[in-house]
């Protein structure tokens, strides 16, 4: 970034940090330590006009721009995904206000836990969202926003009524389904390629009085591929059984080298769960080696799902110390093509042969998206989100933690093998991917196909040519790359 542009930002009273200044490294540190890039400059705006000045300076300097909300990008795309970007950190945009019609105005730098607590304390209201409460609203909502309550309420993106956004030309607009509809469509699924969202307008829902948080550990999970396949086949049959499954149930299957469990939430009373839901799930499974079933209030449910992480977080980025060193991949299994026995056998055989002694720790989560009565039903005509037809969303995740240990090449091979054990068997089947689990190992063409599909991508590309012809908002997988 040139000296003239730096001076212009200083004259405009925009707070910036450069590589030679104290505190820059702490501000630049990513969540995923595997992808530590060095920005040309980190901008810390406190008002919208600061953000506009920064974007215009970047445009003049031919520097790419990316916004940072909670800094949880799996590939550090919020740092540009490469060296030399302008990073605009939205840490000062912390508004949480529930207003008319119970629509919440949420600043672009707010983390999910703070959002949930603020909304509940103001209005006893809630939103569907994920369970990692340190994640920022920016990427989470604009790329989907799945949580265990999404079968009941949809994804976070479904609650968006409007967006305040700064565009590449410095204009500041309020986008809705009727005002700037093409930009509104693009921001809901591909925001990092089109602008910086400063405020989300989200339609809240009444928080439930009680939620059942439940979990069953399954013994003998990896005795044989046949045993593990039988367990998951029953769980999948349960998840597709309209006579017992309805939107109140959120369900996920977790496994790693030492465990296999099924858990979730039930938005309702404990008696109904114990008498109507649990018996149907358990009747085809081995007797659980342990279980936990608790009826709690909304806020305690969120805290339990977050492994007792606090809902409230320090605003300052340098005070947020949660980091990891990892590689992750996702697979969205469509409702029209559920996992078959041959696929599951291939998958569990691979885990039995390679997973117990994997090079690094790992886990796999498969969350139930679809199934009978799911409110994640059809793609919205006002969004570029393409995963609504998924039955399962799988995440394969290998990590070293925040230990300083290098992530081994063999771990990359292992995680890729988890995906391949499924996709190779169902080679003629279409799969999707989840952008909040963005995979940096994909080529741009692979990413665009997996995350959007050809029709959606073509529409996004057309809008990109209009609103950001200079490709100001860029990263390795941006629309138009």
- pTM recorded for the entire structure: 0.95
Higher pLDDT, 401 or 397: 397
Reply yes or no on whether the pLDDT at 479 is more than 80.
Answer: yes
**Distance separating alpha carbons of residues 358 and 356, to the nearest angstrom:** 6
Reply yes or no on whether the pLDDT at 317 is more than 70.
Answer: no
Name the pLDDT band for 364 (thresholds 50, 70, 90): very high
Which residues sit opposite 392 in a β-bridge?
Answer: 333, 368
What pLDDT shows up at residue 258? 77
Q: Residue 331's closest CA among 373, 378, 365?
A: 365
Residue 358: other Cβ atoms inside 10 A: 19
Distances (CA, A) of 372 to 68, 246, 247, 342, 460: 37, 6, 7, 24, 31
Name the pLDDT band for 66 (thresholds 50, 70, 90): very high
Rounded to the nearest integer, the mean pLDDT of the chain is 93
What pLDDT shows up at residue 472? 97
**Distance separating alpha carbons of residues 67 and 162, to the nearest angstrom:** 18
Give the tokens for residue 55: 């974007």
Name the phi and psi angles at 346, rounded to 5: -60, -45
Could you tell me where the beta strands, DSSP code E, fall in 297-375?
326-334, 362-368
Q: Which domains does the chain have, with CATH numbers?
A: 3-89 (3.30.43.10), 96-207 (3.30.465.10), 210-296+323-439 (3.40.462.20)
Reply yes or no on whether the pLDDT at 168 is more than 80.
Answer: yes
Name the pLDDT band for 110 (thresholds 50, 70, 90): very high
Higher pLDDT, 378 or 193: 193
Could you tell me where the beta strands, DSSP code E, fall in 297-342?
326-334
Reply yes or no on whether the pLDDT at 21 is more than 80.
Answer: yes
Reply yes or no on whether the pLDDT at 221 is more than 90.
Answer: no
Q: What percent of the chain has pLDDT over 90?
A: 85
pLDDT digits (tens, 9 = 90+) for 287-311: 999 999 999 999 999 999 998 678 8
**Distance separating alpha carbons of residues 251 and 369, to the nearest angstrom:** 9
pLDDT digits (tens, 9 = 90+) for 243-286: 999 999 999 999 997 778 999 999 999 999 999 999 999 998 99
What pLDDT shows up at residue 381? 80
pLDDT digits (tens, 9 = 90+) for 427-445: 999 999 999 999 999 999 9
What pLDDT shows up at residue 378? 66
Reply yes or no on whether the pLDDT at 11 is more than 70.
Answer: no
Reply yes or no on whether the pLDDT at 182 is more than 70.
Answer: yes
Q: Which of 79-88, 358-367, 369-378 has the lowest mean pLDDT?
A: 369-378
Name the pLDDT band for 111 (thresholds 50, 70, 90): very high
Residue 342: other Cβ atoms inside 10 A: 11
Name the pLDDT band for 6 (thresholds 50, 70, 90): low
Reply yes or no on whether the pLDDT at 403 is more than 90.
Answer: no
| Sheet arrangement for strand 16-17 | 16-17, 41-43, 86-89, 65-68
What pLDDT shows up at residue 145? 96
């Amino acid at each position: 970034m040139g000296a003239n542009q730096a001076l212009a930002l200083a004259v405009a009273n925009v707070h910036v940090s450069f590589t030679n200044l104290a505190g820059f490294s702490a501000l630049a540190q990513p969540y995923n330590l595997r992808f530590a890039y060095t920005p040309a400059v980190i901008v810390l705006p406190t008002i919208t006009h600061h953000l506009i000045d920064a974007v215009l300076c970047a445009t003049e300097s031919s520097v790419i721009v990316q916004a940072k909300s909670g800094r949880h990008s799996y590939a550090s795309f919020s740092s540009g995904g490469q060296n030399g970007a302008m990073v605009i950190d939205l840490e000062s945009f912390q508004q949480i206000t529930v207003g008319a019609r119970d629509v919440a105005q949420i600043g672009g730098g707010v983390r999910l836990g703070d959002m949930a607590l603020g909304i509940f304390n103001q209005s006893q209201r809630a939103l569907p969202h994920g369970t990692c409460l340190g994640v920022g609203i920016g990427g989470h909502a604009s790329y989907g926003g799945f949580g265990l309550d999404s079968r009941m309420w949809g994804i976070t993106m479904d609650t968006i009524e409007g967006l305040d956004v700064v565009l590449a030309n410095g204009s500041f607009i309020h986008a809705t389904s009727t005002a700037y509809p093409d930009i509104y469509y693009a921001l809901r699924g591909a925001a990092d390629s089109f602008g910086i969202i400063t405020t989300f307008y989200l339609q809240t829902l009444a928080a439930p009085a009680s939620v059942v948080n439940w979990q069953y550990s399954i013994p003998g999970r990896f005795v044989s591929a046949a045993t593990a396949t039988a367990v998951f086949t029953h769980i999948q049959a349960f998840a597709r059984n309209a006579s017992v499954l309805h939107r109140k149930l959120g369900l996920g299957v977790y496994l790693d080298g030492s465990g296999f469990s099924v858990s979730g939430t039930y938005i309702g009373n404990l008696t109904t769960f114990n008498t109507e839901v649990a018996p149907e799930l358990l009747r085809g499974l081995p007797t659980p080696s342990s279980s936990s079933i608790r009826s709690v209030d909304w806020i305690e449910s969120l805290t339990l799902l977050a492994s007792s992480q606090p809902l409230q977080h320090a605003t300052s980025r340098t005070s947020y110390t949660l980091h990891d060193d990892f590689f992750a991949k996702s697979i969205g299994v469509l409702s029209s093509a559920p996992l078959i026995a041959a696929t599951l056998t291939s998958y569990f055989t691979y885990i039995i042969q390679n997973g117990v002694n994997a090079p690094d720790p790992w886990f796999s989560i498969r969350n139930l998206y679809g199934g009978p009565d799911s409110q994640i039903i059809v793609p919205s005509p006002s969004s570029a989100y393409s995963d609504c037809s998924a039955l399962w969303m799988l995440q394969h995740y290998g990590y070293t933690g925040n230990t300083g240990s290098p992530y081994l090449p063999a771990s990359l091979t292992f995680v890729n093998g988890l995906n391949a054990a499924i996709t190779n068997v169902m080679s003629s089947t279409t799969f999707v991917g989840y952008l909040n689990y963005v995979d940096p190992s994909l080529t741009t063409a692979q990413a665009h196909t997996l995350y959007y599909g050809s029709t959606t991508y073509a529409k996004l590309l057309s809008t990109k040519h209009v609103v950001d012809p200079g490709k100001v908002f860029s990263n390795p997988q941006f629309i138009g790359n």
